[in-house]
Amino acid sequence: MKIVVLDGYTENPGDLSWDALKEFGELVVYDRTPVDNDEEIISRIGDAEVVYTNKTPINKHVIDTCKNMKMISLLATGYNVVDYQYAKEKGIPVTNVPTYGTASVGQFAMALLLEICHHIGHHNETVHEGKWQNHEDWCYWDYPLIELDNKTMGIIGFGKIGQTTGKLAKAMGMHVLAYDSYPNETGKAIAEYVSLDELLEKSDVIALHCPLFPETEGIINKENIAKMKDGVIILNNARGPLVVEQDLADALNSGKVYAAGLDVVSTEPIKGDNPLLKAKNCIITPHISWAPKESRQRIMDCAYENLKAYVEGTPQNVVNK
Which residues are annotated as catalytic?
239, 268, 287
Do the beta carbons of residue 176 and residue 153 sit within 8 Å? yes
What is the β-pairing status of strands 257-262 and 71-74?
unpaired
Torsion 74-75-78-82 (CA) sign: negative
Helix (H) or strand (E) run with residue 300 in it: helix 293-311
Name the β-bridge partners of 272: none
For residue 38, give the amino acid letter.
D
Using alpha carbons, list the distances in angstroms from residue 35 to 45, 53, 55, 80, 264.
Answer: 13, 11, 8, 13, 19
CB neighbour burial string for 235-274, b if at least 16 within 10 angstroms, e if fewer: bbbbbbbbbbbebbbbbbeeebbbbbbbbbbbeeebeeeb
Do the beta carbons of residue 260 and residue 237 sit within 8 Å? no
Strand arrangement, sheet containing 192-193? 192-193, 175-179, 152-156, 205-208, 232-236, 257-262, 282-284
127 — alpha (psi -120 to 50), left (phi > 0) or beta? alpha
3-state secondary structure of 160: helix
3-state secondary structure of 38: helix
